[in-house]
Amino acid sequence: MVPYYKGLQHLNYMEFHQGKLHPLLKIKCQSARDIGRIPPKLKMLTGTYILQSHRIKMYENETDPMCLICHQGDETLEHFILECEGLSDIRNSIMDEVSAILNGSIHVDFHEQTSKVKMQILLDITMLREKLKLDTKLIAKIEYCSRRLLFLLHTTRYSFLSKGWKKDKKNTSVSKKTKAAILLKDIVKVSPQKDNNNTKAVIDNRAHFVTSDHQATP
């Protein structure tokens, strides 16, 4: 099944058996907070984490695949986890920690690995169990760092995008209010001047119409 789904390319399907937990999920969580870090990682591991490169496939004419954080490349999973400069401050310290663990145990420098190997280490290190001769304790240490890293990347991205959406919503609201003000100004200019009372009534009625129309606009 996995070879046909690109989103599952990092999943260690050789150790995945129906009705049994995947080896990654057998690793004990160190705290309640650690439990909450699992869902975002599982989405990334199974190709269901929605990035701009995924959104464009669903909304081709409305979405730009460009990373909304750094604007320096398409927001693929690899870009998000390894490359986005806007997330480097969060990423670097934990990756240094991963590198120190691997260096101290099996003399492997994480920073010198290819992007493919780095992604595999961070998403499902059990795939490299035999190749790197990893024991259970070492896998657990790397998995703990991985969950922290991916969760922090996830929450930081979400926070950044949320601020952007709120800003866009605020600008849209201001734009609608400005439009309403311009319409009211035009009403005053074109209203008949024969009778002050009639003029005031016309302005009030039209102002009510514009305001109601503005409020009804989503």
pLDDT of residue 204 exceeding 70: no
Report the Cα 156 to chain-centroid distance in Å: 8
First-to-final CA distance of the chain? 44
Q: How confident is the model at residue 12 (pLDDT cuts 50, 70, 90)?
A: confident
Cβ atoms within 10 A of the Cβ of 67, count?
23
Percentage of the residues of the chain whose pLDDT score is greater than 70: 67
Q: What is the DSSP letter of 79?
A: I
Helix, strand or coil, per DSSP, at residue 87: helix
Q: What is the pTM for the complete model shown? A: 0.70
Cβ atoms within 10 A of the Cβ of 89, count?
9
pLDDT tens, position by position, 66-98: 898 999 999 999 999 999 999 999 999 999 999
DSSP for 8-39, please give it: GTTS-GGG--TTS--HHHHSPPSSHHHHHTHH
* Least confident segment among 11-20, 100-109, 127-136: 11-20
